[in-house]
Amino acid sequence: MNPPEIVESLSYIFLPPSYQHCYNKIMEPNNPLYPFFYPQGIVVIGVSRDPTKLGYGLARNLIMSGYPGAVHFVNPRGGTLFDHPIYPDISQIPDPVDLALVFAPPPAVPDTLDACGKRGIKAAVILTGGFRETGSDGAALEEHCLEIARKYSIRLIGPNCVGLVHAHLPADTTFLQPPPPPSGDIAFISHSGAIIAAIVDWMRGQGMGVSHLLSLGNQTDVTETDTLLPVAEDNKTKVITLYLESNRDGLRFIEVAKKASRQKPIIALKVGRFESGRRAAASHTGAMAGSEQALQAAFRRAGVIRAETTVEMFQWARTLAWSPALPGKRIAVLTNAGGPGVTASDALEGNGLQLAILENRTIDELKTFLPLAGSFINPVDMLASATPEQYARSLQILLSDPGVDGVMVITPPPPMHSTGQVAKAIIPVIQTYQKPVIVVLMGDTLIQEAVQHLRAAHIPEFRFPEEAASAFCALNQRRKILDEINLPFLSEPGHDAIKARSILSSSFPGMFLPVDQAVDLANCYGIPTASAKMAKSSDQAVDIAIHCGFPIALKILSPDIPHKSDVGGVILDIQDTYQVKEAYQRIIENVSTKIPTANIEGVQIQKMIPPGQDVIVGVIRDPQFGPLVMFGSGGIEVEGLKDVAFSLAPLTQADLDRLLQSTWAGKKLSGFRNIPAADQEAVRSILIRLGDLATNHPEINEFEINPLRVLTPGSGAVGLDIRVKLVDKPQKEERV
């Protein structure tokens, strides 16, 4: 029997029963990542018989995990370990073997990979450190390892990682200190190896378990993006958590994470968020679109929930793994103390949720057995005398109310009963309904019995209402993701992409488009702009003004001046030819005085546009995730207010709604007090067209209209000032 036949025959033999029925569905054996998840045979290269060495710990964990496949050890010294022979050379290892755990010294790793390749091993985890993380020499060594791996079609995880765990196979290929990670339903994919040991121990203490642990290290080959779908397709995994330090291919991450998040919730913690400086930008849009805005927009597009802290990520993961889906955002609060109920109310509203309005029938039923001195309008306060039976019956009534989507149960230790008794009373009720219930056990020593009961029943519990409200927020985010992730991209008809491409090709990469070409580009996509002419003298300005008709506006034209008003480069409401001459000279003098090195192309003359609301719209191309559409408050206060929002292009209906609803600029388009309503539909159309423009033309680096004057409803919107800058090296991008 040759090696492929051996692998195939062993597949059904040692996969656990829970996996055998969906063996082919989870991952095909010909998938190059298959050996990392379902290895038929594992070799530990660099094993040690010294219990103080990590090479010993690696072998110990593999044996102790109960891994059912073949186990091989390699060390030039030979001998035996855990009743297994230690082979002096990789070539002597018998079949089957398809995964190598490499623990050789860094200089020996290339030769080790070469030997693996000759042996036919197609997957390797390099646990050794001393590569790119140490400097240029280490980076060169790492690149050499990758070259050898590619020569033999070996997929690599690492280097500089702690290994992998598949808790349900089971297989532990880490050198973590025993006991092994508890099996469970949360997968953890991490760029950092150091955090894994602490997280595993902490999760054990919190009653959580893992399905997969993947320490990716330097990601010289396999990245978090590669592992997302295999983990999502695992029927034992309910939630995927990510600890990210970087992202190598933003567009591919969005594409893959979007597929994975349709199957399982993904929660990510992105660190290093404040270290990257802003890139130099030529527009307000570019100045305010940092890596954070791009990452946030990318996570939304991919259906990834973003956590702010490590604890938050795993608390949310436990809640998502152990709770039914949240059907809406109306939450009832059940408590035996008024203060925690008020705290919960504030926290829920602060997390974007609502206090449920109880039906009269619900209130009347509660009044039949609870003290009348209590509160029956959500939050429901049963008073300190509440019994376990009252907790259970009240919870059942609240869950039966069609206006309640979930319940937060709060119990400081009751004076006459134990929290353990309360927990045992409410668990059967919680398990009867397909609505999430999160329990707040306030205290420490007096609540431990209840903690154990709830964790055994896989019901999420927290110590304070704020944590529970945050967990409900995660459930609500997951609900919105499932509602939005399959929405189609919006597009407006009437594009002239061919003409737009011709305009863009006529300018040099990295340069600004001349204003007239920028206006023509906008018009190609039906984005209205105010007609403008350029004058290079005061006399020419007068002639243009007479032709346009008064009143007019004069604006400096210079690629070196993104903020015209800051340097006295804008004069409005000019009424006659005398004012035109005077304004022209004043603008030139202002700019020459404040920025003497500026390249002044001339002065732009525009017809004054009727009053309206001024907003800013724009596009900025992020180097990782592609084009972002921006919307917010415009005019001269744009950077002061920072009332802006970003979404990846092209836009969905949810993106469009979020741009308008999350900004004051968008909200006031409907009118507010003495602010008359403006043409919101015109703004929506322009934002969609901007998304089309940015998606279709990767040559555009920055595109901004500020201000966009939004006129009365039905009257449209007009761009008053436009700037377009091209990228240095255009790249083809795909919609994701």
Has residue 28 got a pLDDT over 80? no
Query: How far apart, in Å, are the Cα atoms of 614 and each of 258, 518, 706?
Result: 35, 20, 8
Tokens for 130? Answer: 């001393």
Q: What's the CATH number where 472 sits?
A: 3.40.50.261
Centroid of chain to Cα 250? 11
558 and 656 belong to one structural domain: no
Residue length of the chain: 736
How confident is residue 11, by pLDDT bands cut at 50, 70 and 90? very low
What is the mean pLDDT of the segment spanning 313-317?
Answer: 97
Task: Kindly state whether residue 518 falls inside one of the protein's structural domains.
Answer: no
| Mean pLDDT, the chain, whole residue set | 90
636-668 pLDDT per residue, tens: 666 677 899 999 999 999 999 999 999 999 999
What's the domain count of the chain?
4
Whether residues 244 and 373 fall in one domain: no
Tokens 């990767």 belong to residue: 698
- Pair (447, 366) in one structural domain: yes
pLDDT > 90: percent of the chain: 74
The residues near 387 (Cβ < 8 Å, ≥ 6 apart) are 414, 416, 417
Answer yes or no: are the C-beta atoms of 532 and 544 closer than 8 Å.
no
Q: Are 69 and 40 in contact (CB under 8 A)?
A: yes
Pair 548, 639 in one domain: no
Q: Which residues face 710 on adjacent strands?
A: 613, 717
- Give pLDDT, residue 566: 83
Is residue 355 exposed (0-12), middle (13-18) or buried (19+ Cβ within 10 Å)?
A: middle
The pLDDT of residue 7 is above 50: no
pLDDT, residue 274, reads 54
**Pairwise pLDDT comparison (20 vs 189), residue with the higher score:** 189
Within-domain flag for 299: no
- Averaged pLDDT for residues 551-563: 86
Lookup result for tokens 């005077």: 582
Whether pLDDT at 735 is above 70: no
For residue 592, the domain's CATH number is 3.30.1490.20
Q: Is pLDDT at 454 greater than 50 in this prediction?
A: yes
| Residue that terminates a domain, selected from 484, 517, 546 | 484
365 with 432, same domain: the answer is yes
Q: pLDDT band at 161, cuts 50/70/90?
A: very high
One domain, residues 422 and 339? yes
Give the residue numbers spanning the domain of 449.
324-484
Q: Is there a domain that residue 56 lies in?
A: yes
- At 584-610, the pLDDT tens digits run 999 999 999 999 988 888 898 988 889
Higher pLDDT, 510 or 409: 409
723 close to 564: Cβ distance less than 8 angstroms:
no
User: Residue 19 maps to which CATH number?
Assistant: 3.40.50.720
How many contiguous H segments (helices) and E segments (strands) does the chain have? 27, 30
pLDDT tens figures, 49-84:
999 999 999 999 999 999 999 999 999 999 999 999
**Interatomic CA distance for residues 206 and 318, integer angstroms:** 9
This prediction's pTM: 0.89
3-state DSSP call for residue 355?
strand
CATH code of the domain covering residue 669: 3.30.470.20
d(CA 602, CA 654): 42
In this structure, is residue 347 part of a structural domain? Answer: yes
The yes-or-no verdict on residue 13 having pLDDT over 80 is: no
Domain boundary among 464, 484, 504: 484
Q: What mean pLDDT comes out for the span 397-412?
A: 97
Indicate whether 295 belongs to any domain.
Answer: no
Please report whether residue 171 resides in a domain: yes
Sheet hosting strand 171-172, strand order edge to edge: 171-172, 164-166, 210-215, 183-190, 239-244, 266-270, 304-306
Paired tokens of 167 = 């808790």
- Pair (572, 621) in one structural domain: no
Residue 93 in tokens: 């290892």
What HEC string does 675-694 produce?
Answer: ECCCCHHHHHHHHHHHHHHH
Whether residue 266 contacts residue 301, with contact meaning beta carbons closer than 8 Å, is answered with no
- Residue range 215-257, pLDDT digits in tens: 999 999 999 999 999 999 999 999 999 999 888 899 999 999 9
The whole-number average pLDDT for the span 303-330 is: 97
Same domain, 123 and 56: yes
In a domain? residue 390: yes
**Residue 503 counted as domain residue:** no
> Which residue type, as a one-letter code, is found at position 46?
G
| End position of a domain, from candidates 607, 634, 649 | 607
Has residue 364 got a pLDDT over 70?
A: yes
522/665 Cα distance (integer angstroms): 22
CB 383 within 8 A of CB 369: no
Mean pLDDT of the 299-321 span: 96
Mean pLDDT of 325-354: 96
Whether the pLDDT of residue 483 is over 90: the answer is yes
Q: Identify whether the C-beta of residue 77 lies closer than 8 Å to the C-beta of residue 86.
A: yes
Comparing C-alpha atoms, which of 498, 529, 520, 559 is closest to residue 697? Answer: 498
The proportion of the chain whose per-residue pLDDT surpasses 70, expressed as a percent, equals: 92
- Both 187 and 261 in a single domain? yes
Contact 527, 690 (CB under 8 A): yes
Residues 589 and 652 in one domain: no
Cβ atoms of 210 and 188 closer than 8 Å:
yes
pLDDT in tens, 707-724: 999 999 999 999 998 999
Strand partners of residue 625: none
**Are 617 and 596 part of one and the same domain?**
no
Same-domain check for residues 618 and 717: yes
Q: If you ran DSSP here, which 8-state letter would residue 472 be given?
A: H
* Of the candidates 276, 283, 270, 394, the residue with the CA atom closest to the CA atom of residue 332: 394
